């Protein structure tokens, strides 16, 4: 019987974890871009950072998801370390909302009245056809599974309480002093590391405490250990990332560990304070008096501890940041890496496809910036054939083309990873945009290299363009750079006017190419230019025109409106 109940306990825990994951996934999809933008923009100082972390974690019900996102943001250079620490503090408070949810609903009413209807409604809503309803259906399904798992844990705990062996074992885990305090904290830490969810271990702790299997001080010490254990996820996510990202993960660990250490001195007093504030007496000798209110006391302890810990640490955010800098050394001494933003993202560790696509689009914008740099260099080489840095600038063009090839490959690998997750139709459309545009930027890089080859051939053959030809080419490069700039900005900040502007520029490039070619034929007939030079000139015009075509393809992908191109 005891073995069966242990299986029920483990099965219920697994169902709780799965429900938590499904509910979190649904909430992340419901929140969409607004959630990610909220996390990204409202972190200008430590105070707004705390509020942001609290709100985001309360919504997605996972401090681990929030801190892993933070590691990704810091790794990508979107947040600095002090901003991230503020959000981490808020995330610690936000994650306590799950405890209140379980305490107020899971132990106050018949859970089946919530769980089964939520599962049924959520399951069928998923087939409604509308994406928003599907996301809400996923949320309700996860919500129901979470509480159904809690039901199994509660039922199994009632039976396990009848086991003398188990009760004796739990009696040995009892906070009576500093040593036992540290032992129980360690048990809570290890348990959370194994389960990989502080919310689940919190629910499990509440369950056995509500059945009188452990007392309130022991449950509180387990909660403190769970606070430390939950930091392991972000530290795993930081493996292989930049030093700044590793520091954000270490800061989370230090913040919770130091909090547990100071609480050791104030533990008894804080336990008594919570018992005074929250209705019910969990320190009573009467078992029935203790067990009825212990979930509320545990939730209050968890929230109170994290709020006080945050208030104590807020003035010392910079001190904590400096401590993590000492612990995690930067081998390049904080030098900014000249690499694609995609290289700063650990694709297999990011929690949401939408966030991952945001980072992929940042890499596309980076590709656009590299193309603009290449066009600037080509303009210099055409304007000044005797440039003393000709070889150095030529090498730069080749380097840019190689970099664009590499980034396209990385984006394609990245997209394969994202596609393997649960994605919405909107994310599917984003995937098509990103892969198509990455190829267009890569083709622009190929044309940059081809143009360089033509310029080098002209130099080797001692061919010279007329002043008119040089001015025409510079004018063409100006227009090509304009359309590339428009689409590069439009990737991250789409505008309704983007496609119209790109169409007008691209159409102008086509017309100029025809006019310049006609003008070139006229110069040939007048003997104003050599035929072999003219061939290079025409090839250059064609390559620049093709760059405009590829840029216009990108504009079509990322424009928020469709333009009647054929009219």
Q: Is the pLDDT of residue 488 over 60?
A: yes
Closest CA to 237 of 84, 425, 39: 84
439 & 506 share domain? yes
Q: Is residue 303 part of a domain?
A: yes
165 & 35 share domain? yes
Give one word for 32, left, alpha or beta, with left for phi > 0 and alpha for psi -120 to 50: left
Reported confidence tier of residue 95, pLDDT bands at 50, 70, 90: confident
User: SS3 for 413?
Assistant: helix
Q: Is residue 70 part of a domain?
A: yes
pLDDT at 466 (0 to 100): 76
- For residue 366, the tally of other CB atoms under 10 A from its CB is 21
Q: In whole angstroms, give the CA distance from residue 239 to residue 71.
A: 10
The residue assigned the tokens 């919405």 is 424
Q: In whole angstroms, give the CA distance from residue 55 to residue 51.
A: 6
Q: Is the pLDDT of residue 376 over 90?
A: yes
337 DSSP assignment = P
Q: What is the CA radius of gyration of the chain?
A: 31
**Are 409 and 518 spatial neighbours (Cβ–Cβ below 8 Å)?**
no
User: SS3 for 527?
Assistant: coil
Reported confidence tier of residue 494, pLDDT bands at 50, 70, 90: confident
Q: Is residue 563 part of a domain?
A: no
Residue 342 tokens read as 């995609």
**HSE-CB of 508 using CA atoms within 13 angstroms:** 15
265 & 413 share domain? no
Residue 256 tokens read as 């919770």
Q: Is the pLDDT of residue 12 over 90?
A: no
Q: Is the pLDDT of residue 340 over 50?
A: no
pLDDT at 321 (0 to 100): 85
pLDDT digit string, tens, across residues 388-404: 888 888 999 999 999 99
Reported confidence tier of residue 289, pLDDT bands at 50, 70, 90: low
13 & 136 share domain? yes
Reported confidence tier of residue 137, pLDDT bands at 50, 70, 90: confident
242 & 144 share domain? yes
Q: Is the pLDDT of residue 180 over 60?
A: yes
Q: Is residue 336 part of a domain?
A: no
pLDDT at 450 (0 to 100): 92
pLDDT at 88 (0 to 100): 84
Say which range, 235-249, 324-338, 422-436, has the weakest mean pLDDT. 324-338
Mean of pLDDT values over 214-231: 86
- Tell me the whole-structure pTM to 2 decimals: 0.53
322 & 413 share domain? no
pLDDT at 336 (0 to 100): 39
Reported confidence tier of residue 206, pLDDT bands at 50, 70, 90: confident
113 & 57 share domain? yes
Reported confidence tier of residue 50, pLDDT bands at 50, 70, 90: confident
302 & 351 share domain? no
Say which range, 60-74, 76-90, 92-106, has the weakest mean pLDDT. 60-74
Range of the domain at 235: 2-327
Q: Is the pLDDT of residue 564 over 60?
A: no
pLDDT at 356 (0 to 100): 64
Residue 507 tokens read as 């159409």
Q: Is residue 447 part of a domain?
A: yes
259 & 139 share domain? yes
Say which range, 187-191, 385-389, 481-485, has the weakest mean pLDDT. 385-389
Last residue of a domain, one of 299, 327, 355: 327
Say which range, 27-36, 353-362, 374-383, 459-468, has the weakest mean pLDDT. 27-36
Distances in Å between the Cα of 4 and the Cα atoms of 95, 155, 156, 167, 296 are 32, 11, 8, 17, 29
312 & 216 share domain? yes
Last residue of a domain, one of 327, 351, 385: 327
Q: Which residue has the higher pLDDT, 107 or 504?
A: 504
Report the chain's mean pLDDT, rounded to a whole number: 77
Mean of pLDDT values over 193-222: 77
Say which range, 106-115, 193-202, 297-306, 416-425, has the weakest mean pLDDT. 106-115
pLDDT at 355 (0 to 100): 57
Say which range, 156-170, 320-334, 528-542, has the weakest mean pLDDT. 156-170
Reported confidence tier of residue 296, pLDDT bands at 50, 70, 90: confident
Q: Is the pLDDT of residue 1 over 50?
A: no
Q: Is the pLDDT of residue 341 over 50?
A: no
Burial group, residue 493, by CB count within 10 angstroms (0-12, 13-18, 19+): exposed
154 & 217 share domain? yes
Q: Is residue 335 part of a domain?
A: no
Q: Is the pLDDT of residue 253 over 70?
A: yes
Q: Is residue 334 part of a domain?
A: no
Say which range, 29-38, 205-214, 286-295, 394-403, has the weakest mean pLDDT. 29-38
Reported confidence tier of residue 368, pLDDT bands at 50, 70, 90: very high
Q: Is the pLDDT of residue 504 over 80?
A: yes
**Could you tell me the CATH number of the domain that includes residue 346?**
1.20.58.220
Q: Is the pLDDT of residue 102 over 70?
A: no
pLDDT at 7 (0 to 100): 74
Give one word for 240, left, alpha or beta, with left for phi > 0 and alpha for psi -120 to 50: left
Question: How many domains does the chain divide into?
Answer: 2
pLDDT at 545 (0 to 100): 92
Q: Is the pLDDT of residue 348 over 50?
A: no
Measured in residues, the chain has a length of 567
pLDDT at 44 (0 to 100): 61
Q: Which residue has the higher pLDDT, 102 or 111?
A: 102
Q: Which residue has the higher pLDDT, 292 or 219?
A: 219
pLDDT at 10 (0 to 100): 74
Reported confidence tier of residue 449, pLDDT bands at 50, 70, 90: very high
Mean of pLDDT values over 452-460: 85
pLDDT at 240 (0 to 100): 62
356 & 309 share domain? no
Last residue of a domain, one of 259, 292, 327: 327
Reported confidence tier of residue 307, pLDDT bands at 50, 70, 90: very high
Q: Is residue 140 part of a domain?
A: yes
């Amino acid at each position: 019987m005891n073995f069966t109940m242990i299986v029920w306990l483990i099965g219920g825990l697994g169902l709780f974890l799965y429900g938590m994951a499904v509910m979190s996934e649904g909430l992340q999809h419901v929140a969409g871009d607004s959630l990610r933008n909220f996390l990204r923009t409202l972190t200008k100082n430590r105070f707004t950072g705390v509020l942001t972390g609290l709100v985001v974690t309360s919504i997605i019900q996972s401090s681990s998801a929030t801190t892993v996102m933070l590691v990704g943001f810091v790794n990508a250079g979107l947040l600095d370390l002090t901003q991230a620490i503020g959000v981490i503090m808020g995330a610690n408070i936000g994650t306590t909302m799950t405890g209140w949810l379980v305490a107020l609903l899971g132990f106050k009413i018949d859970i089946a009245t919530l769980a089964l209807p939520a599962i049924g409604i959520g399951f069928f809503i998923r087939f409604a056809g509308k994406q928003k309803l599907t996301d809400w259906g996923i949320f309700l399904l996860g919500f129901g599974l979470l509480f159904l798992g809690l039901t199994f844990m509660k039922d199994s705990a009632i039976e396990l309480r009848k086991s003398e062996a188990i009760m004796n074992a739990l009696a040995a885990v009892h906070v009576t002093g500093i040593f036992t305090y540290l032992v129980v904290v360690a048990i809570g830490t290890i348990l959370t590391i194994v389960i990989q969810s502080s919310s689940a271990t919190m629910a499990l702790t509440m369950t056995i405490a509500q059945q009188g299997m452990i007392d309130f001080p022991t449950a509180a010490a387990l909660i403190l250990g769970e606070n430390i254990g939950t930091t392991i996820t972000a530290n795993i996510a930081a493996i292989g990332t930049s030093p700044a990202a590793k520091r954000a993960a270490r800061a989370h660990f230090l913040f919770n560990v130091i909090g547990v250490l100071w609480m050791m001195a104030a533990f008894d007093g804080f336990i008594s304070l919570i018992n005074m504030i929250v209705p019910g007496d969990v320190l009573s000798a009467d078992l029935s008096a203790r067990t009825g209110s212990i979930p509320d006391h545990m939730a209050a302890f968890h929230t109170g501890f994290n709020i006080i810990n945050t208030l104590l640490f807020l003035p010392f955010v910079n001190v904590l940041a400096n401590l993590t800098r000492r612990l995690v050394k930067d081998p390049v001494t904080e030098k900014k890496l000249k690499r694609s933003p995609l290289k700063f993202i650990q694709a297999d560790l990011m929690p949401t496809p939408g966030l991952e696509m945001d980072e992929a689009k940042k890499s596309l914008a980076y590709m656009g910036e590299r193309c603009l740099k290449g066009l600037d260099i080509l303009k210099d080489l055409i304007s000044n054939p005797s440039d003393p840095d000709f070889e150095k600038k030529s090498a730069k063009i080749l380097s840019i083309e190689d970099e664009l090839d590499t980034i396209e490959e990385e984006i394609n690998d990245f997209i394969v990873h994202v596609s393997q997750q649960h994605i919405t139709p909107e994310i599917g459309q984003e995937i098509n945009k990103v892969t198509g545009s990455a190829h267009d930027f890569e083709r622009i890089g190929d044309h940059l290299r081809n143009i360089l080859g033509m310029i080098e051939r002209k130099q080797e053959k001692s061919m010279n363009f007329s002043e008119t030809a040089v001015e025409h080419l510079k004018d063409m490069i100006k227009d090509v750079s304009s359309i590339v700039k428009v689409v590069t900005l439009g990737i991250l900040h789409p505008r309704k006017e983007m496609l119209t502007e790109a169409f007008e520029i691209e159409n102008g490039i086509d017309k100029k190419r025809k006019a310049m070619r006609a003008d070139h034929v006229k110069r040939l007939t007048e003997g104003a230019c050599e035929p072999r030079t003219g061939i290079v000139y025409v090839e250059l015009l064609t390559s620049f025109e093709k760059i405009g075509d590829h840029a216009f393809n990108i504009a079509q992908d990322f424009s928020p409106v469709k333009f009647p191109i054929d009219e």
